[in-house]
C-alpha cells in the first residue's frame, strides 16, 4: 500500500506544469489542510478535499485516492499517488515514512 499523505509535508509533487500562467511553470507543493485530531509523525492526515498550496501560487483540492474505505474523520485518506487538481494538476509523490 502507498504511504499515507500528511499535512505540512513538502510534496515535491509535479506531474505537469501549471497552465494558469502566461507561460506554464513547473511547481512543487505542500498540503496545507488535514485532520486536526488524527496525526501521524506529528502531521495531520491528508484527506479527500484537503488543499495543496503550489509553489506557482495556486492551490488545488485533493480529488482522488485509493483509500476509499480507509477514512479519517469519516473522509477517505490520501496517499502517494493521490491526485490534486484545479488550475494545477499534480500527483502526491511523498508521504509517511512509517504508515501505509
Integer angstrom CA distances of residue 9 from 5, 46, 79, 94: 8, 10, 12, 8
Q: What single DSSP character describes residue 24?
A: -
Give the domains, in start order, of the chain with CATH numbers.
1-100 (2.60.200.60)
**What is the tens place of the pLDDT at every residue in 13-30?**
455 678 888 888 888 888
Host H or E run for residue 81? none
Q: Specify the pLDDT at position 35.
A: 94
Cell numbers placing 62? 485533493
pLDDT of residue 86: 83
Please tell me the pTM assigned to this model.
0.86
Q: How far is the C-alpha of 60 from the C-alpha of 86, rounded, in Å?
A: 5
The list of the chain residues with pLDDT below 70 reads 1, 10-16, 67, 100
Amino acid at each position: 500500500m502507498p504511504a499515507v499523505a500528511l499535512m505540512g509535508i513538502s510534496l515535491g509533487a509535479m506531474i505537469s506544469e501549471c497552465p494558469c500562467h502566461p507561460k506554464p511553470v513547473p511547481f512543487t507543493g505542500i498540503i496545507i489542510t488535514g485532520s486536526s485530531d488524527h496525526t501521524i509523525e506529528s502531521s495531520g492526515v491528508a484527506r479527500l478535499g484537503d488543499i495543496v498550496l503550489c509553489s506557482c501560487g495556486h492551490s488545488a483540492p485533493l480529488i482522488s485516492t485509493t483509500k476509499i474505505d480507509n477514512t479519517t474523520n469519516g473522509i477517505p485518506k490520501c496517499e502517494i499517488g493521490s491526485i490534486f487538481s484545479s488550475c494545477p494538476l499534480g500527483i502526491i509523490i511523498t508521504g509517511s515514512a512509517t504508515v501505509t
